[in-house]
Copies of this chain bind each other. A is one copy, B any other.
Amino acid sequence: MSDTRTNAGVDNISTYRKMFTWSKPGERTLVMMTAGNLATTQAVVSMLDERTKAPEERNPSILEVPSMFQAARLVGKTLRNVIRESAPDEGPDAESPFKATIILGGQIAGAEPRLFLIYPEGNFVEASKETPFFQIGETKYGRPILVRAYEPDMTFEAAVKLMMVSFDSTMKANLSVGLPLDLLLYEKDSLDIMAQRRIEEDDPYYNLISANWGEALKFAFGSLPDYKL
């Protein structure tokens, strides 16, 4: 799940998609989510799409690399190069004003699905049993509920609810994250996108969760015993 708000200061708020997919149904499905400098992430996506080439010559190598590991290397290299190009005289990419961070997930036929967190320097780490999810961007407000309510055996339905609660906690506290949200579900070994939806401001489920989560939290808080002075 990703939000769509970008801002350069509070005046310059716009809506941009931060979730991108590449898919050859039956052979591979890849999903990328971005955080950070919008010029950087748009350039990375354009280069991965090979949009500099004539449409008939495009053959994005992200659809050809033999493994998810190679896909992460490709994305990482592209990201690092874009940042360096914007700021050739800067220090480490992690401190560049043009920095961005990327989550890349997906599966290629014959191998397991994999999920990577890719840093501005182009290196990356992979999700594991002990670290089963990644967040990028404005991560802190939404983290406590993920830490407390995530279960490895959650259903898709409960996992979507959890992401909505987490994003809602962030959006209630911080202006830099905002609706609409993009949601994508991928089922292991399907090698195709299971569902992809945009959650707009009038989404009845999101509004139900947002309204009731406040009440449920207050009820949970009230159920604990008060401090004794």
Contacts and interface: CB of A to CB of B under 8 A. Distances in A.
Given A140-B140, A140-B173, A145 B226 contact: no
Interface residues of A, number: 45
Nearest to A206: B227
A72 interface: no
Interface stretch (A20-28, A61-69, A99-107, A217-225): A217-225
Interface stretch (A46-54, A77-85, A208-216): A208-216
Contacts of A185: 229
A195 interface: yes
A151 to B, nearest CB: 9
12 contacts: A140-B140, A140-B173, A144-B170, A145-B217, A148-B172, A148-B213, A148-B214, A161-B224, A164-B227, A165-B221, A185-B229, A216-B221
Q: Is the interface of A mostly helix, strand, loop or mixed?
A: helix
B226 A209 contact: no
A56 interface: no
Given A162-B221, A194-B229, A205-B227, 7 more contacts: A140-B140, A140-B174, A144-B144, A160-B226, A164-B227, A205-B228, A216-B224
A224 B212 contact: yes
A156 B228 CA distance: 9
A57 interface: no
B157 A144 contact: no
B227 A161 contact: yes
A124 interface: no
Contacts of A141: 140-141, 143-144
Contact of A172 (B144, B194, B195): B144
Interface string A128-145: 000000000000111111
A179 to B, nearest CB: 16
Nearest to A138: B140
Contacts of A140: 140-141, 173-174
A217 B224 CA distance: 11
A158 B217 contact: no
B220 A161 contact: no
